[in-house]
Amino acid sequence: MGKYIFLVLLGIAGVIYHLWFALTYGIEMQLHLVAHLGFMMVAITAVCFDPQVNREDGWLSVLDNYLVLPAELIGSAGIAIYLWMNYERLAVFSIGVYTDVDFYVGIFLLLFIIDQSRRAFGNILPAVGVIGLIYAIAGPYFPSILRHGGIEFRRLITSQTVAFAGVYDTLVQVAATYIVIFIVFAAFLEAYGAMNYFVNIGAKVGSYVKSGITQTAVVTSVAMGSVNGSAAANAATTGAFTIPLMKNQGISKETSAAIESVASSGGQIMPPIMGAAAFVMAEITGTSYLHIITIGLLPALLFYGTIAVAVHLITLKEGAGLTNLEDVGSDRDESKINEGDKTIEDISMGTTTQPSDMSMLAEASQTSFLASLAKGMYLWLPVSILVYTLVILQYDPVYAGFFSTLSIFPVALLQGLYFGDDKKVAVRDFVENTIEGCRLGMSNAAPITLAVAVIAIFVGVLNQTGFTQALAQSLISLSGGELALLLFFAMFAAILFGLGMPTVAAYIVAVLLIAPALVNLGVRLETAHFFVFYFAILSAITPPVAIACIITAEISKGNFWRVAAKSLVIGMPLFLLPYVFIMNDAVMYWEFPQTLVLFPMLLLGLICLSIASIGYLNGDLSWPFRIVIGAVGFGILFVPVLPVADQLVRMVLVAIAGGMLFYQGTFDGLQQHLTKVLP
């Protein structure tokens, strides 16, 4: 209880402070970064503290929990206060001249950041920061392009900390402004019932197809993932509800987990919020946030359109006992009820879903689509304000985030007062949900900020040593100037950095190392960034780490390696999608009429690859058919877009694909895939 109260008080203070800054920008940015990082470091240590630890857990755990963590909490707050109190001296009057106390404050600040990121994300992310620091000091001892003159230890520490660079530089500024305000926005949406609403909408959309329950996972994941910006959190939150439902309907535990893993991995690419990545991308590329979400829209639709079809096909292939959504909770075969139908603990929220709640999907599917939408219209108003202020008024994203967040409070309160049965209960629920939103906001923002701070250490070292420029030239030489080979290097690097690191951190490292070389070979800057970003996302389903698969396998009680393998089968076309951007960038930059013609063709090509990968349409497909339909899909994707002759080739391939689908009886058997006619 003490931990919860502390996090609530910290959350309330943190939310009020960040909303105030978003509205007024009332203090210098460097002071704001000090305050923000201080809030986040205190929050992460409080979140990691476990009051249940006792002697049975071992003396090291007791020592860490009751001595090290409190010391880090107090030290983190003390460092923030010290830097705040000495800001003028450090930033104005004695630039480059630092006392021994400043030096030791810098050392402890770096140690705390690295250790706190370890607690939040494991060993891989802090290792990146440590490697950066070692590389800075030991530069003269490295071979070839890695060699540099070295940075003296004291200068390295002060330049990364008390000089208000490194951990207080541009990347952390993005976290302290754009990212935190939208995480707070998402936290309040979640606290006021967005999760249940998105599940209901997903259920309604899914009620029109035989794969309805699995499509609920897809729709819910894209909605939640866009605002929470984390494949792991998305898989934990939505998977705790959708995976047991899928298992109940005859879908194997590995397939259920794989579907949720793939669906959860891509929420961060869906505008208008795109998790935290859109803001970081806009900052690094020097373009507007509106530009980033505009060019990201059609690729995101291709991504989720492909997932929806792949999930539908694998559901029909393996879901022999599947029933319609209307039957869920009413006439289920009790013999099929497994352990997934028991109480489910929601990993991220600590709430539970009882078996009786499973009828929620049936109720949602039996109401009209407009009625389902209307139940949560109060949640759409803040989102609409966000889109309006960003797209139409073109406000600064922080300013837009402030007004969107502020609009949630009166809307949620009025919803409870006018549509609830008891006004006192409505007010009480509003207060409780507001408090929970504050707690969630700071608790969710803290890990992202710590991840960005660690990466800022690494990036700061690379910039100081000039490594990124040297690497770009070396990669071009290594690839022989061949773009295809360089793209493969970029894919490998993005996936490698994404193994065990949050997407934003993996994207930043990979794009700073690889994107300059891609741009030098003629790839558009934003296209290069999206190429790297998509593969950083797909690392969530790529073994051996595959963090989304680890979480969903735990929920489903399935075998991790089988879950990862099925995730790759479902997501196979998605690994080609970033290459499609390079060959057909009109799908990103809205070049008319090419974009209008290109988008449906590319979607058809990706669907053909899904059919080939899964091997099912109206029934199991023969290998010759799968090979041919896969080759046709590949051809549709990679015929260049501009020359007339190439467009004719693409049109011929589209005609062949249509003929093969017709031959297979897809259109004659359409009713097999639908449960009702769309209104």
Predicted confidence at residue 505, as pLDDT, reads 82
- On whether residue 378 sits in a domain, the answer given is no
Does the pLDDT of residue 604 top 80, yes or no?
yes
- Residue 128 near residue 144, CB atoms below 8 Å: no
Range of the domain at 637: 592-679
Give 587: exposed, middle or buried? Use CB within 10 Å, 0-12, 13-18, 19+.
buried
Give 263: exposed, middle or buried? Use CB within 10 Å, 0-12, 13-18, 19+.
buried
**Quick one: tokens of 232?**
């792991």
> Does an H or E element contain 557, and which?
none
DSSP bridge partners of 352: 345
- Residue 262 near residue 570, CB atoms below 8 Å: yes
Kindly give, in sequence order, each residue whose CB lies less than 8 Å from that of residue 230, ignoring residues fewer than 6 positions away.
268, 275, 448, 502, 503
Q: Which of 132, 156, 176 is the last residue of a domain?
A: 132
Summarised one tens digit per residue, pLDDT across range 444-467 is 899 989 999 999 999 889 888 888
- On whether residue 83 sits in a domain, the answer given is yes
Question: In which band, very low, low, confident or very high, does the pLDDT at 662 lie, cut at 50, 70 and 90?
Answer: low
CA dist 214 and 225 (Å) reads 16
Question: In which band, very low, low, confident or very high, does the pLDDT at 673 lie, cut at 50, 70 and 90?
Answer: low
CA dist 423 and 409 (Å) reads 16
Predicted confidence at residue 473, as pLDDT, reads 77
- pLDDT averaged over every residue in the chain: 83
SS (H, E, C) 577-606: HHHHHHHCCHHHHCCCCHHHHHHHHHHHHH
CA dist 591 and 580 (Å) reads 15
Predicted confidence at residue 193, as pLDDT, reads 84
**Quick one: tokens of 239?**
């998977």
- On whether residue 48 sits in a domain, the answer given is yes
| DSSP per-residue codes, 413-468 | HHHHHHHSS-HHHHHHHHHHHHHHHHHHHHHHHHHHHHHHHHHHHHHHHHHHHTHH
CA dist 342 and 324 (Å) reads 21
More confident residue, 513 or 259: 259
CA dist 381 and 407 (Å) reads 8
**Quick one: tokens of 340?**
């997934």
Predicted confidence at residue 647, as pLDDT, reads 59
User: Taking each helix axis from N to C terminus, what angle separates 289-318 and 277-285, rounded to the nearest 10 degrees?
Assistant: 140
Q: Which of 132, 159, 185 is the last residue of a domain?
A: 132
User: What average pLDDT does this structure show over 153-182?
Assistant: 92
Predicted confidence at residue 668, as pLDDT, reads 45
- Residue 495 near residue 575, CB atoms below 8 Å: no
More confident residue, 570 or 234: 570
Long-range own/partner contacts, residues 74-81 (CB < 8 A, 24 or more apart): 75/108, 75/112, 76/38, 76/41, 76/42, 76/45, 76/112, 76/116, 77/38, 77/41, 77/42, 79/38, 79/41, 79/105, 79/108, 79/109, 79/112, 80/34, 80/35, 80/37, 80/38, 80/41, 81/38
Predicted confidence at residue 418, as pLDDT, reads 84
- How far is CA 577 from each of CA 303, 400, 572, 674, rounded to the nearest angstrom? 8, 31, 9, 27
Question: In which band, very low, low, confident or very high, does the pLDDT at 181 lie, cut at 50, 70 and 90?
Answer: very high
Nearest to 116 by CA among 58, 178, 189, 42: 42
Kindly give, in sequence order, each residue whose CB lies less than 8 Å from that of residue 586, ignoring residues fewer than 6 positions away.
594, 595, 598, 641
Highest mean pLDDT (candidates 307-316, 506-515, 649-658): 307-316
In this structure, the number of other CB atoms found within 10 A of the CB of residue 620 comes to 11
- On whether residue 100 sits in a domain, the answer given is yes
**Quick one: tokens of 143?**
């071979």
Place of tokens 């949630």: 408
**How much of the chain exceeds pLDDT 90, in percent?**
42
Nearest to 190 by CA among 238, 254, 239, 119: 238
Predicted confidence at residue 50, as pLDDT, reads 92
- On whether residue 654 sits in a domain, the answer given is yes
Long-range own/partner contacts, residues 105-108 (CB < 8 A, 24 or more apart): 105/79, 105/161, 105/162, 106/157, 106/158, 106/160, 106/161, 106/162, 107/157, 108/75, 108/79
- On whether residue 375 sits in a domain, the answer given is no
Q: Phi first, then psi: give them for residue 578, nearest 5 degrees.
A: -60, -35
- On whether residue 596 sits in a domain, the answer given is yes
- Residue 14 near residue 32, CB atoms below 8 Å: no
Compute the half-sphere exposure of residue 324: CA atoms within 13 Å on the CB side of its CA.
15
Question: In which band, very low, low, confident or very high, does the pLDDT at 614 lie, cut at 50, 70 and 90?
Answer: very high
CA dist 578 and 492 (Å) reads 13
CA dist 33 and 36 (Å) reads 5
Number of domains into which the chain is organized: 2
- On whether residue 420 sits in a domain, the answer given is no
User: What average pLDDT does this structure show over 92-121?
Assistant: 93
Predicted confidence at residue 374, as pLDDT, reads 67
Lowest mean pLDDT among 4-18, 322-336, 459-473: 322-336
Q: Which of 132, 154, 179 is the last residue of a domain?
A: 132
**How much of the chain exceeds pLDDT 70, in percent?**
85
Predicted confidence at residue 119, as pLDDT, reads 93
User: What average pLDDT does this structure show over 316-326?
Assistant: 60
User: What average pLDDT does this structure show over 618-628?
Assistant: 88
Helices H / strands E in the chain, number of each: 32, 2
User: What average pLDDT does this structure show over 334-359?
Assistant: 37
Lowest mean pLDDT among 382-396, 561-575, 651-665: 651-665
